[in-house]
């Protein structure tokens, strides 16, 4: 039930100057570290590099412990990674078409890092920056809060933006991610996402094709050849995208062009706590089940289609379909799709994004 902090002093200068240069010299006051949240035999490790979830360890139905998220052993490896393992991505997650948008009659141009589009906040989005450790608290429900100010013009986005994320062990085998963003002086799009890859059998154990998944959505936002939403809402009933009832991931994955990578429009009722049921994932081999709730309107269901024997933690190599990402979010490219719910936040407003993971076994 304690929160334990270990720091990597040798990594500070290398990270701040070699990766980010003088323009981000303010980050040098923050030491990159690995921080542990622990409640009994439930343990989560995070780093303030990219506000990244590094590991989630919990028992299975036989009491065997395993780390159920993909990733790396050290923060240095996350700095050089390309798959956003465990990272908090932003200022705008997912894709923005043609790496540009117009807001208040001004067009903003962003770095293109996914063909001609912008992906997950740009070349040096939130996932590749050092965050300040704002608060860390132990006790029965340990938590840690990371903070950074995204300045006006960072990766092309307008206005200063104060961003907070809190990782908390909020109950027995319950893990909460609480993201908040506050525009300081200009309206800006905000769409944060937590990009953890889950494998409930344990990272490095093989693929997730035998997992069952249920997603609380009757529609998807279909995409074009560049994975940009067309602006439509398409029913999933009778298609390979239908997970309204629990379905085996691998049963129809060959029918969707290499794997799932699509936003679902959530339609489950909002509960009194402001959250709605998003998805349930079960690994029958270990008995582990993960239930996800959130206050967001969409969730990106991604089956790690681009992993190709990628070297991860503990000497493991991750083949294609090694993990499942369930990234609650606003609809992708909403800043360019007026029919989608707006993700623009103005000064005086607060962006709030909550995710609650509940595990059983």
Q: Judge whether 327 counts as a catalytic residue.
A: yes
Cβ(263)–Cβ(302) under 8 Å?
no
SS3 160: coil
Cβ(79)–Cβ(19) under 8 Å?
yes
The vertex-51 CA angle with 50 and 53, nearest 5°, equals 110
Going by C-beta distance under 8 Å and a sequence separation of 6 or more, which residues neighbour residue 10? none
Closest to 2 measured CA to CA, from 55, 56, 43 = 43
Helix (H) or strand (E) holding 37: strand 33-39
Which token pair is 248?
């085996």
Cis ω for the linkage preceding 91 (within 30 of 0):
yes
SS3 11: helix
Q: Are strands 276-283 and 310-311 parallel, antiparallel or unpaired?
A: unpaired
Query: From CA 208, how far away is CA 131, in angstroms rounded?
Result: 31
Annotated catalytic residue within 36, 154, 203, 327: 327
The DSSP line for 228-249 is -B-S--EE-TTSTT--SS-EEG
| Placement of tokens 């790690």 in the chain | 304
Annotated catalytic residue within 120, 128, 154, 195: 195
Which token pair is 234?
């398409």
Going by C-beta distance under 8 Å and a sequence separation of 6 or more, which residues neighbour residue 18? none
Which residues participate in catalysis according to the annotation?
195, 327
């Amino acid at each position: 039930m304690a929160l334990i902090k270990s720091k990597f002093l040798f990594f500070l200068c290398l990270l701040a100057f070699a990766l980010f240069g003088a323009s981000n010299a303010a980050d040098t006051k923050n030491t990159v570290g690995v921080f542990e949240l622990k409640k009994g035999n439930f343990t989560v490790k995070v780093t303030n590099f990219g506000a990244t979830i590094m590991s989630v360890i919990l028992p299975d139905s036989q009491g065997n412990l395993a780390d159920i998220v993909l990733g790396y052993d050290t923060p240095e490896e996350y700095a050089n990674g390309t798959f956003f393992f465990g990272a908090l991505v932003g200022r705008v997650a997912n894709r923005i078409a043609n790496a540009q948008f117009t807001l208040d009659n001004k067009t903003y141009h962003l770095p293109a890092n996914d063909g001609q589009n912008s992906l997950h906040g740009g070349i040096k989005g939130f996932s590749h920056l050092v965050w300040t450790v704002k608060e860390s608290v132990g006790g029965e429900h340990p938590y840690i809060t990371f903070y950074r100010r995204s300045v006006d013009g960072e990766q092309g986005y307008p206005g200063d933006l104060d961003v907070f994320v809190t990782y908390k062990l909020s109950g027995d085998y319950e893990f909460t991610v609480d993201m908040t963003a506050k525009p300081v002086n200009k309206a800006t799009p905000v769409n944060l996402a937590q990009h953890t890859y889950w494998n409930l059998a344990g990272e490095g154990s093989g693929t997730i094709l035998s997992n069952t998944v249920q997603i609380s959505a009757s529609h998807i936002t279909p995409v074009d050849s560049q994975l940009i939403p067309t602006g439509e809402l398409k029913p999933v009933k009778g298609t390979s995208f239908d997970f309204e009832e629990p379905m085996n991931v691998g049963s129809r994955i060959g029918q969707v062009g290499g794997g799932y990578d699509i936003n679902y429009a959530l339609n489950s009722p909002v509960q009194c706590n402001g959250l709605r049921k998003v998805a349930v994932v079960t690994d029958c081999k270990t008995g582990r089940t993960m239930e996800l709730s959130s206050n967001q309107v969409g969730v990106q269901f991604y089956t790690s289609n681009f992993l190709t024997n990628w070297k991860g933690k503990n000497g493991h190599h991750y083949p294609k379909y090694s993990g499942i990402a369930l990234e609650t979010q606003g609809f992708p490219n909403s800043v360019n799709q007026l029919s989608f719910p707006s993700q623009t936040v103005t000064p005086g407003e607060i962006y709030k994004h909550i995710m609650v993971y509940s595990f059983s076994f």
